[in-house]
Structure 1
């Protein structure tokens, strides 16, 4: 709750400063001179409500969506020794990091992957693929589970949602300001919102969203290193390193976009496309763990 409050407070402060800055730079007066009825204060509030609203709705239904998008089946009562061991492992690790036992699920994929999601650290879901259970040793699976448990314990789902909310707010705000400038100042439209406003706003929102996602993905990559160290602490450095090497032997299952940032791995991207990658290269993650193992 404290994290949410601080992010909201920060976002409000940024938007207030932004609104004042636009006035000082004369943007509002320029729009007024050209017949614009743009109310910056109202736009700030509108952008914040819709920017954070969409992000929080996605977070609130994340478990429900994850189960349906991946076909994950929650283990209510273990039907075999593997499921019992998996539940025991999650329970043990959850107790160590101080969170409530998450729901545990298996999703039917022959590829190796796992993810965690949920509205809070005490109402989370940890899911692993059948392919991961079939392909990895118990030590490696423990490390992967530890990685996902660390995501939950660190509150990464909430953190990335808040970052996405801030980014959404700026995208909504600037796309509409740009639309107004084009419609009223360049196209000289004086009656309501013309076609120039709508076309420009949609185009600007698409472009700004693509650019802004670079910021979200940057933070996502940073959280992966932290989750790796969490998995290493819970299951051992070598198990975590071996699990990542195992993932590198075969391209991981592509998770739905909403879950990709919380999977253990993703399809590698090269060149400039790495800016939009939610995970660092496996080689870099392995090197970071090997360096940490030597110094610990």
Structure 2
């Protein structure tokens, strides 16, 4: 669900800003000669930085998810409650059915929200985590549908394809941020121009990264339909539809305060609000599955 995309975007922005600060301090990637930008050099520099940032974010994704969400990883051979053991067994059964050879880590994080996510740098180094609220709110069939959807994300390699897209977006973010920073610095006094340029790079990179995330979110919405289909193949269409209807019932009950926190989660958003969501409208997801 939305946590996977939120963590990827947040980690990517953090990594990119850090790389930008370091490279602005060090004399690396000299794309300004005689006071003019060498656009070919800048584009090559931007691609290296952009894809490095994206793949660093991917490599850190599982660790960041555990740290930021406080995920408790459930060890198959460790002391588990009946509910926890059943959760691990379900994820592993669905993973084997999806052709995944190395089982994902399975975890629970303590939150009343109804949510789950899958993340990790590869199919063999993945994590499926669910909230305590989801386990308390949903029945067994709905939980299986949600887990099948998340396993489908892993089997489809969505984190890798999302990273490649993020690398392209990052390339243009770095490229245009540094052009904009150079233009702004031209209006500053000569002695202040380097400082203005340094600050402007950071500001523009953050701003353009946020705009670029709209492209990533749009692709995420597109991939959700594929994960729904994959979940239906793994758990059965009825369970997948039941899971989505359960999510729909939950979102309809969410009060105003909780709704304000649900920007990147499962939703029934339409119109302009959908641009800022990682997931398509639940009604449309259900409709497509029913027509499958």
CA distance in 2, matches of 1:144, 1:160: 20
SS of aligned partner of 2:285 = helix
* C-alpha spacing 1:78/1:128, structure 2 compared with 1 (3 Å): farther
The within-5 A match list for 1:30-109 is 36-76=35-75, 77-99=78-100, 100-109=102-111
Q: 1:70 to 1:182 in 2, by over 3 A?
A: closer
Relative distance call for 1:225 and 1:190 in structure 2 (3 A) is same
Name the count of aligned residue pairs: 252
| Partner-residue secondary structure (3-state), 1:112 | coil
Deviates more, 1:201-210 or 1:283-292: 201-210
Deviation of the 1:182 alpha carbon: 4.5
Contact 2:266–2:282, Cα closer than 8 Å, also in 1? no
For residues 206 and 107 of structure 2, the distance between their equivalents in structure 1, rounded to whole angstroms, comes to 35
Separation of aligned partners in 2, 1:58 and 1:206: 16
What SS class does the counterpart of residue 278 from structure 2 fall into?
Answer: coil
- Superposition pairs of residues 136-175 of structure 1, within 5 angstroms: 136-175=138-177
Deviation at 1:80, TM superposition (A): 2.2
* More divergent stretch after superposition (209-218 vs 145-154): 209-218
Q: Quote the residue 1:118 is aligned against.
A: 120
TM-score (norm 2): 0.77
Q: Which stretches of structure 1, 4 residues or longer, exceed 6 Å deviation after superposition?
A: 188-192
Alpha-carbon distance change, 288 to 78 in structure 1, aligned in 2, over 3 angstroms: farther
In structure 1, the gaps of 5 or more residues are 1-30
Structure 1 residue 117: Cα displacement: 0.5
| TM-score of the aligned structures, taking structure 1 as reference length | 0.76
Q: How far, CA to CA, are the matches of 1:103 and 1:75 in structure 2?
A: 7
Deviation at 1:196, TM superposition (A): 5.4
**TM-superposed deviation, 1:193:** 4.0
RMSD: 2.7
Q: Which has the larger radius of gyration?
A: 1
Give unpaired runs (5+ residues) of structure 2.
1-31
- Kindly tell me: are residues 192 and 50 of structure 1, through their superposed partners in 2, closer, same or farther at Cα, counting changes over 3 Å? farther
- Paired with 1:44 and 1:191, the residues of 2 have a C-alpha distance of 27
